[in-house]
Structure 1
């Protein structure tokens, strides 16, 4: 259940620094999640609607009412180049809130993609457009335009708190939220993590075992692991 104000559009949001977001965009969700301290992941039921979908950008948030996509149209006006729309709902709903026409409108505003804790449709068209969407469901069921929600308020999407202007990274491994004030720090930590992993990868290619690369043998022995012939 969302606990936030209804019937409001905040127009003057603070976005994460675009240079830091560009640096963050080099890294995948798993790397960012680990580098940030294993926090920020949305629930794994939010999946890409086509396999190659991926995105990185700053959040324009939307709070929807079940079966009503009115506020997605309202949100389109608030999109700036480099934004990702993150849409949550006041209660669970898997109706088809979003499709090819709204994707066309969003893209014209510079939108990098959509994360929605709800349903979408026109999947083949979205893939042809290469407009990335991560959703709870795929549903042809249409929606109405009758009830107010809000735009650019804090929302909980896939059990993760998203504030307007936070950075969003999404790929085949899931969706992660990076607080806007931490984006540069997390990008640096992600780069450092990838450098460390490159060294480990070289050792694995040379035939070394994780038991030795990670120094696991001592702790395993202390816990009583035995090898019997």
Structure 2
């Protein structure tokens, strides 16, 4: 369906379960460090506790406070998918809540990323079902449209394409293009090992700070 404002595009497959599993346990901070430190969300908060999130993006753009197209998207969602909703950052009306969480669990979805508000946060915490949102409100959604499914969206300034890999933890949410995933993964694994080595140096009072003076000297034009 190609009508602007009511566009519904096919689901994009994204990474396999095995490929996604390779990212499990990697901190978002480490991944972010390997992606230029200039992407990812800053204002979305986990509403479920500490369970991390890894899955493929199914995107929805909706009018603020309206979840008609979110309901429609459930017909396309598969196990391991993340429902990524561009609600314009509006928090006057919740876009998902407990009942939609139950449907998502039934379909073995990975979680929700909502640039808008959610409700029933106690249910999300109790279930531990990954849900990241900009806000919380008890006020329910409208169901009038318009909206689009599986088009490019913007989530808290982060561009998300359908099929992108979504990785999230207590620090925030990242979107990784499938073609970039292998390279990001390789660099992030090395980065984590480097941080482990630094932690070991801290524990042994063996931190090398020579680079700090070298950096200051370079800023001074080579002068100590």
Q: Counterpart of 2:214?
A: 218
Cα displacement (A) at 1:223: 4.5
Q: Are 1:130 and 2:119 an aligned pair?
A: no
8 Å contact from structure 1 (residues 168, 178) kept in 2: yes
8 Å contact from structure 1 (residues 57, 169) kept in 2: yes
Q: Counterpart of 2:53?
A: 55
Segment of structure 1 superposing worse, 98-107 or 193-202: 193-202
Q: 1:92 to 1:55 in 2, by over 3 A?
A: closer
- Per-residue CA shift, 1:116-162, capped at 9, x if unaligned? 01000001111111111110100001111111201111101110110
Q: How many residues align?
A: 220
8 Å contact from structure 2 (residues 11, 150) kept in 1: no
Cα displacement (A) at 1:109: 1.2
Q: Name the SS of the counterpart of 1:182 in structure 2.
A: helix
Q: Counterpart of 1:16?
A: 15
Cα displacement (A) at 1:199: 1.3
Q: Counterpart of 1:36?
A: 35
Q: 1:86 to 1:164 in 2, by over 3 A?
A: same
8 Å contact from structure 1 (residues 16, 181) kept in 2: no
CA distance in 1, matches of 2:39, 2:15: 16
CA distance in 1, matches of 2:30, 2:77: 27
Q: Counterpart of 1:93?
A: 90
CA RMSD of aligned residues (A): 2.1
Cα displacement (A) at 1:209: 3.6
Q: 1:53 to 1:137 in 2, by over 3 A?
A: farther
CA distance in 1, matches of 2:201, 2:121: 42
Q: Name the SS of the counterpart of 2:22 in structure 1.
A: helix
8 Å contact from structure 1 (residues 40, 178) kept in 2: no
Unaligned runs of 5+ in 2: none
Q: Name the SS of the counterpart of 2:105 in structure 1.
A: helix
Cα displacement (A) at 1:20: 2.2
Aligned with residue 145 of structure 1, among 136, 143, 146? 143
- What TM-score does the superposition give when structure 1 sets the normalisation length? 0.89
CA distance in 2, matches of 1:210, 1:62: 48
